[in-house]
């Protein structure tokens, strides 16, 4: 039976993944804390006076700003504090829900990103917002067997974090998740409606450790499987919690 092998959230869009052992789940919401913040350049349409979801083009993203991958971050829920490291050394620390702390992080990011920040680097946040790629409140799931099948085509190891999913599961056939679209799955009492396959962009071709473009993921998906999709989006139907090791039951 499929089970959760790894669980992740990404507190700041396009910055470091945070591995979890367990997470609450809320009906009709993304994974709590996932993409809670984003980095808006000076030219962004995001309006901090009227915070609202925006498409990823409104923010700094790995596909256009690969040097973001060189920053390693840690986020503390209890204090809303983000710590940024570069080359193993702490370079910035600030509370993202506090104007002064947020300004410290913004000033560092503006300097680090240079021209890519287009004059500013504003931390986007808002009540009850998640800056996921899709406006719908989805959670992303990927079967590790599908990633291994892609490795067969690529003929090289593929880090699953290239796909920045929330739930990675084991013990299912390659691409089994595609057959779940339009159906429900259950994880430890939480039911999910599987909505659609995830079409991938060129960000998957960047090494998540350093941002270097080192793999032709999209071309390999096309040549090997006739599509550029990896994983599925699902929506939670009830509150609960999920954890590494939980069984995943397609229904």
- The answer on 51 and 10 residing in a single domain is no
- Per-residue confidence (pLDDT) for residue 28, from 0 to 100: 96
Separation CA 248–CA 251 (nearest Å)? 10
Range of the domain at 164: 3-29+134-250
- Per-residue confidence (pLDDT) for residue 163, from 0 to 100: 98
User: Is 232 within the bounds of a domain?
Assistant: yes
- The answer on 42 and 22 residing in a single domain is no
- Per-residue confidence (pLDDT) for residue 251, from 0 to 100: 82
- The answer on 171 and 71 residing in a single domain is no
- CATH value at residue 241: 2.40.33.20
- The answer on 149 and 107 residing in a single domain is no
**pTM of the predicted structure, to 2 decimals:** 0.95
Of the candidates 65, 99, 124, which is a domain's last residue? 124
pLDDT per residue rounded down to tens, the chain (251 residues):
999 999 999 999 999 999 999 999 999 999 999 999 999 999 999 998 899 999 999 999 999 999 999 999 999 999 999 999 999 999 999 999 999 999 999 999 999 999 999 988 999 998 889 999 999 999 999 999 999 999 999 999 999 999 999 999 999 999 999 999 999 999 999 999 999 999 999 999 999 999 999 999 999 999 999 999 999 999 999 999 999 999 999 98
- The answer on 183 and 94 residing in a single domain is no
- The answer on 179 and 102 residing in a single domain is no
Q: What is the DSSP letter of 183?
A: S
Helix-strand-coil percent breakdown of the chain, rounded to 5? 25, 35, 45
- Per-residue confidence (pLDDT) for residue 73, from 0 to 100: 97
* Residue given tokens 């941002």 in the structure block: 211
User: Is 129 within the bounds of a domain?
Assistant: no
Of the candidates 124, 151, 166, which is a domain's last residue? 124
- The answer on 191 and 154 residing in a single domain is yes
- The answer on 84 and 25 residing in a single domain is no
- The answer on 114 and 90 residing in a single domain is yes
- The answer on 155 and 112 residing in a single domain is no
- Per-residue confidence (pLDDT) for residue 132, from 0 to 100: 95
Q: How many domains does the chain have?
A: 2
Separation CA 64–CA 70 (nearest Å)? 14
CB atoms within 10 A of CB 90: 11
Task: Classify burial at 21, counting beta carbons within 10 Å of its beta carbon; exposed 0-12, middle 13-18, buried 19 or more.
Answer: exposed
């Amino acid at each position: 039976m499929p089970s959760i092998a790894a669980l992740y959230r990404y507190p700041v869009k396009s910055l470091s993944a945070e591995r979890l052992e367990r997470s609450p789940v809320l009906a009709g919401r993304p994974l709590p804390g996932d993409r809670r913040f984003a980095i808006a350049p000076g030219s962004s349409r995001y309006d901090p006076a009227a915070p609202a979801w925006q498409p990823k083009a409104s923010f700094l993203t790995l596909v256009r700003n690969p040097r973001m991958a060189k920053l390693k971050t840690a986020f503390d829920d209890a204090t809303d504090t983000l710590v940024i490291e570069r080359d193993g050394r702490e370079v910035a620390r600030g509370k993202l829900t506090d104007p002064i702390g947020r300004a410290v992080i913004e000033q560092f990011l503006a300097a680090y990103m240079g021209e890519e920040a287009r004059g500013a680097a504003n931390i986007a946040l808002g009540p009850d917002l998640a800056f996921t790629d899709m406006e719908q409140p989805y959670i992303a799931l990927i079967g590790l067997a599908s990633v291994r099948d892609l490795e067969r085509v690529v003929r090289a190891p593929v880090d699953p974090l290239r796909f920045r999913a929330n739930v990675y599961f084991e013990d299912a056939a390659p691409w089994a998740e595609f057959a779940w679209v339009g159906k429900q799955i259950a994880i430890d009492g939480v039911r999910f409606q599987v909505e659609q396959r995830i079409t991938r962009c060129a960000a998957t071709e960047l090494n998540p450790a350093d941002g270097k473009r080192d793999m032709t993921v999209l071309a390999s998906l096309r040549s090997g499987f006739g599509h550029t999709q990896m994983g599925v989006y699902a929506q939670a139907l009830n509150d609960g919690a999920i954890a590494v090791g939980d069984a995943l039951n397609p229904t």
